[in-house]
Amino acid sequence: MTQMTQPTQVTSAAVRSPAAQQPQWPDPSRVRAVRRTLRALPAPVAPEGVDRLRERLAEVALGRALLLQGGDCAETFAGNTPAHIRANLRTLLHTATLLEVGSGLPVVPVGRMAGQYAKPRSSPTDAAGLPAYRGDIVNSTSPTAAARTPDPDRMLRARADAVATLDVMAAVAADADTELFASHEALLLDYEVPLVRQAVDGTRYGLSGHFLWIGERTRRLDGAHIELARGLANPVGVKVGPATTPAEVLGYADALDPHRTPGRLTLISRMGADRVAEALPPLVEAVAAAGHPVIWLCDPMHGNTRLSATGYKTRHLDTILAETRGFLDVHAALGSHAGGLHLEFTGDDVTECLGGSQGLRDEDLPARYSTACDPRLNARQSLDLASAVAQILLDGRRPAERREAASAG
Ligand SMILES: O=C[C@H](O)[C@H](O)COP(=O)(O)O
Ligand SMILES: C=C(OP(=O)(O)O)C(=O)O
Ligand SMILES: [Mn+2]
pLDDT tens digits, one per residue of 194-231: 999 999 999 999 999 999 999 999 999 999 999 999 99
Query: Would you say 48 and 321 are in contact if contact means Cβ atoms under 8 Å apart?
Result: no
> Mapping DSSP to helix (H, G, I), strand (E, B) and coil, where does residue 13 land?
helix
Query: Would you say 149 and 58 are in contact if contact means Cβ atoms under 8 Å apart?
Result: no
Output the known binding site for Mn(2+): 73, 302, 344, 374
Does residue 384 lie within any of the structural domains? yes
Does residue 39 lie within any of the structural domains? no
Query: Would you say 336 and 367 are in contact if contact means Cβ atoms under 8 Å apart?
Result: no
Question: What's the CATH number where 116 sits?
Answer: 3.20.20.70
Positive or negative torsion for Cα 379, 380, 385, 389: positive
Does residue 177 lie within any of the structural domains? yes
Does residue 15 lie within any of the structural domains? no
In this structure, the chain runs to a length of 409
Does residue 241 lie within any of the structural domains? yes
pLDDT tens digits, one per residue of 350-390: 999 999 999 999 999 999 999 999 999 999 999 999 999 99
Helix (H) or strand (E) holding 99: helix 82-103
Ion ligand 3: residue ranges with CB closer than 5 A: 73, 374
Does residue 219 lie within any of the structural domains? yes
Overall number of domains in the chain: 1
Q: For residue 294, which phi and psi values (nearest 5 degrees)?
A: -75, 155
Query: Would you say 154 and 137 are in contact if contact means Cβ atoms under 8 Å apart?
Result: yes
pLDDT band (50, 70, 90) for residue 3: low
pLDDT band (50, 70, 90) for residue 4: low
Segment 116-144 shows an average pLDDT of 98
376 lines ligand 1 (CB under 6 A): no
Structural domain harbouring 131: 45-408
> pTM value?
0.96
239 lines ligand 2 (CB under 6 A): yes
Strand 107-112 to 181-185 pairing? parallel
Does residue 152 lie within any of the structural domains? yes
Does residue 319 lie within any of the structural domains? yes
In this predicted structure, the answer to whether residue 404 has a pLDDT above a threshold of 70 is: yes
Q: How far is the CA of 227 from the centre of ligand 2 (A)?
A: 19
CA distances from 156 to 33, 250, 258, 385 (A): 11, 36, 34, 36
Instruction: Give the closest residue (by CA) to ligand 1 atom 12.
Output: 121
Strand partners, 131: 125
Residue 122 alpha carbon, nearest atom of ligand 1: 12
